[in-house]
Amino acid sequence: MKKELFGEVNGREVYLYTLENSHGMKVTVSSFGALIIRIWAPDHNGNFADVALGYDRLEQYLENGKFYGAVVAPNANRIGGAKFTLEGKTYELSVNDNGNNLHSHRALGGHKRIWDAEEKENGILFTMSMKDGELGFSGNRDFSVLYELTEENGLRITYDVVSDADTILNLTNHCYFNLDGHGAGQITDHELQLFSHAYTPADAKAIPNGDILRVEGTPMDFTEPHLIGERIDADFDQLKMAGGYDHNWVLDNYTGQVRKIAVVKSSDKSRTMEVYTDLPGVQFYSGNSRDLEAAKDGKTYGYRAGLALETQFYPDTPNKPQFPSSVFGPDRPYHTVTEYRFV
């Protein structure tokens, strides 16, 4: 493992940690935000490229409005009306996305904290805490995120949270991938397969309406591999409202056990990434922002420059009792696993 200084935030040093396996795959993560900075991944011919979107400088991550590489905590995705009721008490959250709450808090969420770091044999463990009521959520909470780089070229992320009171928890990583190499252009020619036969339709503000609909016969059907750009601009209300894909898929075979939930291939099919998780849903986001921005290695990111596959409980779960529960507490500690594997 390689450790190097990334900079300082409020007088505290921030470090980069680079993991490397025997095949030459490397992953760089940061103690600021527990961020993924780089994923140096092989293709089928043994050629390597950095496939994770991001920045060169720590100062850029202090803003990071698109959540590049971010661990989102305590709650990923959206909560309608920026409030929910738990055990008879209403909790009010930051209103930061069209009257709703998105990713807990833009300035104070887990992606903007400095995490403590502990080097492990095959990885790095990041930890931090939040107090009862912090960011609007209940419970004194201890968070840990373990990054491990396996000999199977998998980046395994294990999330654990212990809380002294019932609370809402839904952690994810918001890494954007371009399997052609970050800054290589749009991901519309990437091929995607999702092991999901249903999704949660959303309103114009991206809040699920509570229904679970079959994907069959719609542009949301990735049960067989499709190019991402093949139907992204179809005359379909869900795609038109979101400007592309930005939806939660209901994953097949949810039993709380880890299973393969997605396969992504680069434009020339030379690099393949499989996604594994024990969670019930995944938010597939096709990078629909049209903003141009300077990024790492002198690259520029634009429209649909990367895709995110955010493993998760469904959006607005705290307000949708018909969805799998994201309530955790003293008798139900939070523990989930996600792995991005290059095969």
The one catalytic residue among 148, 191, 274, 310: 310
CA–CA gap between residue 33 and residue 214 (Å, rounded): 36
Answer whether 304's CB lies under 8 Å from 287's CB: yes
**Helices marked H in the chain — which ranges?**
58-61, 237-242
The one catalytic residue among 103, 105, 111, 174: 174
Q: What are the phi and psi torsion angles at 13 (to 5°)?
A: -75, 140
Q: How far is CA 228 from CA 44, 128, 287, 300, 304, in A?
A: 21, 36, 11, 21, 10
Answer whether 12's CB lies under 8 Å from 114's CB: yes
In the three-class reduction of DSSP (H, G, I as helix; E, B as strand; rest coil), residue 318 is classed as helix
CA–CA gap between residue 171 and residue 71 (Å, rounded): 7
Q: What H or E segment, with its residue span, contains residue 92?
A: strand 89-92
Task: Write b or e for each residue in 45-72: b if 16 or more Cβ atoms lie within 10 A of its Cβ, otherwise e.
Answer: eeebbbbbbbbeebeebeebebbbbbbb
Q: Is 310 a catalytic residue?
A: yes
CA–CA gap between residue 148 and residue 107 (Å, rounded): 27
Answer whether 161's CB lies under 8 Å from 143's CB: yes
The 10 Å Cβ neighbour count of residue 242 is 16
Q: Which residues are catalytic?
A: 174, 310
